[in-house]
Chains A and B, each alone.
Chain A
Amino acid sequence: MIGRTTPVLEPPVVDRAPEALADRWVAATSTRITGEEIVFAGHYPDFPIFPGVCVVDCAIGGALAAPPPDAAPLTLAAVDSARFVGAVYPGDTLDVTLEWRRREDSWRCQAVASTERGKAASVRLRFREASC
């Protein structure tokens, strides 16, 4: 896999490898959000909050770490939607559940990111397969 530049230092851990259900693949990953993350220095100086877009990045990272086994290498094409419902702080673990479905020429990934306090965000991602 080609490395990817990301604002999140901690790599995702695959907790549940992709498993085939009737019309989809399901998987789960988690990312520890430590106080060492560089984004906290500036977001914000007096009260560290993990940026919502970094929650989305954890979903992207999780998706790329647990892709559908029958997919070619994937590239992010779109964030079809993201809804932010709970804050994420240093010390949290962000658990991400993933549901993959193929739609014509792309892969859609529905991700739900949660901390121990509950849901932080729901994210719908769209990936395209490398055409090589």
Chain B
Amino acid sequence: MLISPAGVRAALPHRYPMLLVDRVTEIVPGERLTAYKAVTLNEPWYQRLGPVVDDAELAYPPVLLIESWGQAAGLLAQYDHPEPEALRTNVMVVGGISGAVFHRPVLPGELLEHDVRLVRALTDTMIFEGECRSGGEVVFEVERVTMAYRPAGMLREQPVAH
């Protein structure tokens, strides 16, 4: 089973420039998922760099590796909560991250392969682990990401109008 780019876009509330999964090549519901994210020099994060940069400056932001991997985990989570009504009224929130280790910088032009495994599913909380590879080499791994479904209204309660 897989999810096309259109399916990814339909399943996640994120949009440009924060929709960081391109496609899903394998899902075993309740167990694991493999997703791809292509990193390009055309991403907006590179817009503000000066006229001359070195490769170190072009390293893809490590926190966006976590976000991209987390969105892949979110897609796996949805296969356990597929009711559209629940998705409209609830949002998935990352509660915690442990042991996110970056093995080497990721540069534009790399195709990232996220492997996500569901470690434990409680009533409204799920715990994932996994890693991210580029050309077969592990570039990032994470011991534990905890996600929870929360009522969307809770997040919309903004204290100040903007």
> CA of A54 to CA of B64 in the docked complex: distance in angstroms?
8
A49 lies within 8 A of chain B by Cβ? yes
A87 → chain B closest CB, angstroms:
6
Contact with A along B110-138 (1 / 0, CB 8 A): 00000000000000000000000000000
List A82-130 residues whose CB lies under 8 Å from chain B. 82-84, 87, 89-91, 117
Q: Are A79 and B96 in contact (CB under 8 A)?
A: no
- Chain A residue at smallest Cβ distance from B160: A91
Q: Are B14 and A2 in contact (CB under 8 A)?
A: no
B: contact size bracket:
35 or more
Contact flag A2-B162 (CB < 8 Å), given A43-B14, A53-B64, A79-B100: no
* Of A5, A44, A57, A91, the contact of B15 (CB 8 Å cutoff): A44
Q: Are B19 and A42 in contact (CB under 8 A)?
A: yes
A123 → chain B closest CB, angstroms:
9
Q: Chain B residues near A72 (CB, 8 Å)?
A: none
> CA of A120 to CA of B40 in the docked complex: distance in angstroms?
31
Question: Which of B58, B61, B63, B152 counts the most chain A CB atoms within 10 A?
Answer: B63
B6 lies within 8 A of chain A by Cβ? no
- Please list 5 pairs of residues, one from A and one from B, whose beta carbons are closer than 8 Å in the complex, sorted by A's number: A5-B46, A9-B48, A53-B67, A78-B100, A81-B97
